[in-house]
Every structure is written in structure tokens, then in C-alpha cells.
Chain A
Amino acid sequence: MTVLYEQARIRLSGDRALLVEYGDGIDLVINEKVRAMTALLKKNLPAGVEAVVPAYRSLSILYDPLATTPAGLAEILHALEADFCAAEIAEAKVVPILVCYGGEFGPDIGVVAEHTSLQENKIVAIHASVDYPIYMIGFTPGFCYLGGLDRRLQTPRRKTPRTNMPAGSVGLAESQTGMYPVDSPGGWQIIGRTPLRLFDPARENPFLYEAGDRIRFVPIAEAEFRRLYEKAWS
């Protein structure tokens, strides 16, 4: 049972960052508070703050010690918490991610089918039936920690991790699901692939989403995949 703190707990992470905790575990209510505080801070960035980095139940604030102090920032943070009105915060944005499931793009969908005793088209239907909140982004550029994978789809990791999963791979392992924005090794069960460039460093906005958004997987056919892939990657 997770606890939403009445007032944020602020810790020092060295001499240039604060770690601000809003609760004690992985929980959508706590994460929504992180999302709200992040939005409020970014809307009106306090003097001396250089970055705001949201995570599951906390956020990190990087500051310039010559321009502000932890005490000053703590005051601002507590005031934001005390005054905040949920209505001020924009609704979470839904980001559709088009996915071609199964076949050559989902080499492990058969493994998932066997483990869960579900038909492949049922797996797709369940996977694509909910919006997944992005709790945080980390580990590699654009890698999302998503919440809410349906229990029925849970499947253990691959016994032998793959040395390479192509960028855009969509997979699941235990209670997690998500996508790999860059070529990576990994042990997830790959059930599909998106033709979209989830991370393009040369694009004006290199990413398609941020923490707090919700991912909606949208099944597409192979022909559509090829068309979109051509468009995104050439």
C-alpha cells in the first residue's frame, strides 16, 4: 500500500540538485502529483533552476548555487503544493503509437501466446485496449516506464536476451510493457514494431512524448508499416 505524502520530502542530491519525494512507491496518484508539480515548475521556472526531471514518485531539481538556495527552493515547492489546483493542470496528452503486431515484427508473440494461453489476435486486442501512463523516461533516450499492463499478458523475460532489438521494437516482460527507441540488447518479449522514429536527435522535437503523457498502441497492417517506415526513416 503506497502513501501519498501530505507534504513533499526534500533531500539533497549533492550540492547542485534536490530530490523531492511526493510518495513512497509506484502509484498513479503519486505520479499524477509529480506530473502536476513538474508542469507548474516548468510553467514558472524559479530563478536559478536549470532542469526539472520527473520520475515515478519524485522529481529532481538541478539548481545553480550562485543563483538560489535549497531553502529558497523548498519554500517555493511547498507553496506550489499548498496552492495547487488540479484544474490548472492540462489533461494528460494521449500519444498514439502505431504498431504492426506479430509476424516478422513480433518474433516473440508466439511465446506470449503459449505462456498466456491466449490467441495472438486476443493479445493484440488486450495490449491495444488501454492507454498506458508514462511514469518516467530514463535508462536510454526516450525509454518509457509505462504502467498498467494487463495481468493476463504477463510473461517472463526471455531466458537468453537478444543482442539486438531494432529501434521501434514493442515488447513486454513481467509487469512491464514499452518500446525501445534505439537499437538495444534486451530480454523483453517482442510482440510488434512501430515504424515511427521514437527518437530523432536531428528533429526539432527529438521525442514524441514526455513523462506524464499516455501511450496508446494502435494496430496497423504490414503495408501501412512499410509506407510509414519509408516516410520516417529515409
Chain B
Amino acid sequence: MELFAVRNPGPMTTVQDLGRLAFLDRGVPLSGVLDPFSGRVANLLVGNPEEAAVLEITVMGPTLEVLAPADIALTGADMDMTINREPVRGWRTARVNPGDIIRIPRAAQGCRACLAVTGGIDVPLMMGSRSTFARAKIGGVQGRGLIKGDILHRGAGGLLSRPREFPDEWIPQYPREIALRAVPGPQDDDFRKGIDAFFGASYEVTLQADRMGCRLRGPAVQRDAGSPESIVTEPTMPGNVQVPADGQPIILLVEQTSGGYAKIATVITSDLPNVAQAMPGNTVRFERVTLEDAHRLYRKQQQQMQQISEYLKK
């Protein structure tokens, strides 16, 4: 059913779900919400499966006219949302009705928000996912971000019998100094001399940050003498920290499948949402952890998702 008429799209608002894994070997990247924690919680709040499609909103958000009743929830960056000019807090549900105007002005803290709706955003499945990959015009609303005049649909789903909220103490904070835990490698062997300095240094997030990658500026990462400037092209993963010839690291994200630069370390899955919430001017420090640490944190986060799911069912 028709749900929203887009009065103002915001600079970069796209439909995303949890991404497409099935075509990584054909040059089709993962895509999906850059902050899966926020995306999943938003869906659970409104009673959707975790993988339903949401709107991913970047820095500044849309103005939407409501066309049908639904429950909505905005998670991730704090964006001063209002419904008919009344402030509505994030990380909790709100009921909207035909004629209501939702305004999502700008991020006060963090960078990206997820807006979930009853039944999920309904766009055609493209290669198994509703995620938008704009560079190849795949998925979402005709392979692009929202524009003024778009009509968005929602899937079938029951409205909640009462509003739901995510406990305050579980809501993540998005500080300006960001710690990112990372496992060394895959090419840590090329950086034996420089890797300790890398893990101690402070890097600034530049304006060149998007869904493909987050470019950092700071002390040049030292490559070992004799190690090549580029490597044989190989698959990349979200979180890989690539070091090109100028030594300025790039955290690769979800719209790349392969690359030819050495990767000194890889941000752990649990900390990728922190990269999604980084704004230009924020600083980043990489903290070395072991694979065991990373897996322990991953397990803990999955258990937390289970707990959240059960808590919200009550």
C-alpha cells in the first residue's frame, strides 16, 4: 500500500536491507545498511523481521507526507525528527496516520539513521535484495536515492497494540573520537615496521567518506622496505583498511568487491556501525584485537539481538 509521498528527499536517502551476498563473485557488492545494528533494531521495534527494507538517511533527512497508517521507528543518528512539528525521540515507535508530515532535519550526533515502517519498505527484489546500489542502478527505488515526488509503499503487516521503546541504557552513543577495534591483516606482513604506529595513531575522517569507503587523514602508514605499492587484485571485505601509495588509510565499506592495495588491518564486524556513524572531522583510533576477541564480541552482539527481540515481543 502507498505509505509516503516524498516532499523533500534529503541529500542521500536510499532503501536498504541487509544486503546481497549472492553476487560478490560477479562484481556486485554487498550494499545494505551501513549500520546493521540500527537497521535491525528499527525493524524489531515496529514488529518486522530484522531483514526488512528501511530508509537509510545520511546527514540530512527527508520530509514525508503520510498516506496510510503505520508504525515507524528512527534509529542510528539522532536527527531531531518531528511529526506535525511535534518532536519524536529516536529508538522508539510512533504511529503515523494519513495527512501527517514527518520531518527528519539533520543529524545532531552520528551520521546515518534508519527509518523502519510496518511491513518494511516495499520495492521489488533485485537479485535477491531490496538494497540500493546506485552506481550500477540496482535495487531500491529504480536504483537511485529518493527524489521529490516519489511514492513509497509498505508491505503488509499488523499495527502494534501499544508503542514500544528501546531501553535508554542500550542506545549507542556516537562520540567524536571513535575507537575501532581491528584484527591485523590480511597484508600485515607488509607493515611489520609501521603497524605499531598505525595502532597508536589518531586519524581524521575526511570529506571523502561514502558507502564505498571512508578516507582518513593522518600520519602516513609506513610500508616495509621492498614491499610493493600495489598487490594482485583480490576480494575485499567491509572493514578492510587499505593503504595506498600515499600512506593515508581508507576503511573500505559495502560498495566495493575487490582492490589492488595492501590492507594492514580489518575493523571487526561489531565496530562497523561506528564507521557508519563517523562524520567528517571526527577522529578515529584503531585498537588491535585478536580474532578470538572479535568472535567473542560478535557472539555477544548476536546474543544481545536475541535478547532485544525477546524483550520487544512482550
A contact residues vs B (CB 8 Å cutoff):
11-17, 19, 25-26, 38, 50-60, 62, 65-66, 70, 136-143, 145, 182, 199, 201-202, 206-207, 210-211
B267 at the interface (CB under 8 A from A): yes
* Set of chain A residues within 8 Å of B235, measured between Cβ atoms: 13, 17, 19, 53, 55, 58-60, 138
Question: Counting CB contacts under 8 A, is B16 at the interface?
Answer: no
Cα A207 to Cα B23 in complex, Å, equals 10
A13 to B186, Cβ gap below 8 A? yes
Docked complex Cα distance between A57 and B235 (Å): 11
B residues 259-274 near A (Cβ < 8 Å) are 263, 266-269
Scoring B residues 77 to 100 as 1 if CB is less than 8 Å from chain A, else 0, what string do you get? 000000000000000000000000
CA A51 to CA B26, docked complex, whole Å: 12
For A138, the closest partner residue in chain B by CB is: B258
Query: Size band of the B side of the interface?
Result: 35 or more
Residue pair B258, A19 in contact (C-beta under 8 Å): no
CA distance A51 to B128 in the complex (A): 14
Chain B residue numbers with a CB within 8 Å of A206 are 23, 26, 127
Which residues on the A side are within 8 Å of B127 (C-beta)? 201, 206
A137 and B27 contact, CB distance less than 8 A: yes
**Could you tell me if B295 and A15 are in contact, using CB atoms closer than 8 angstroms?**
yes
Q: Is the CB of B27 within 8 A of A12?
A: no
Asked if B126 contacts A53 (CB within 8 A), the reply is no
Known: A50-B21, A62-B21, A138-B233. A12 touches B266 (CB 8 A): yes
Q: Which of A11, A52, A145, A211 has the most CB of B within 10 A?
A: A11
- A52 to B183: give the CA distance in the assembly, Å: 21
Q: Is B169 an interface residue (CB 8 A)?
A: no
Q: List 11 A-B contacts (CB under 8 A).
A: A19-B234, A51-B24, A55-B235, A58-B234, A62-B21, A70-B291, A136-B258, A139-B27, A140-B135, A140-B136, A182-B137
**Contact: A145 with B233, CB < 8 Å?**
yes
Residues of B within 8 A of A138 (CB): 27, 233, 235, 257-258
Q: List residues of chain A with CB within 8 A of the CB of B185.
A: 11-13
Chain A min CB distance to B306 (Å) = 11
Contact of A143 among B27, B183, B184 (CB under 8 A): B27
Q: Does B225 count as interface, using CB distance less than 8 angstroms?
A: no
The listed residue (A57, A141, A199) touching B232 by CB distance below 8 A is A57
Instruction: Provide the bound-state CA to CA distance between A211 and B23, in Å.
Output: 12
Minimal Cβ-Cβ distance residue in B for A202: B126
- In contact, B26 and A56 (Cβ under 8 angstroms): no
Choose among B25, B240, B266 the residue that contacts A210 (Cβ–Cβ < 8 A).
Answer: B25
**Distance to closest chain B CB from A50 (angstroms):** 6
Nearest 10 pairs between A and B by C-beta? Answer: A14-B266, A138-B258, A60-B235, A15-B294, A11-B186, A53-B235, A55-B234, A53-B25, A141-B27, A65-B295
A19 to B259, CA, bound (A): 13
Cβ-defined contact, B28 with A17, below 8 A: no
- Please state if B26 and A14 are interface contacts (CB–CB under 8 Å): no
Q: Give CA–CA (A207, B127) in the complex, Å.
A: 11
B298 CB contact (under 8 Å) in A15, A25, A55: A15
Known: A55-B258, A56-B234, A141-B138. A15 touches B27 (CB 8 A): no
A32 nearest CB across to chain B (Å): 16
Contact of B269 among A15, A59, A139 (CB under 8 A): A15
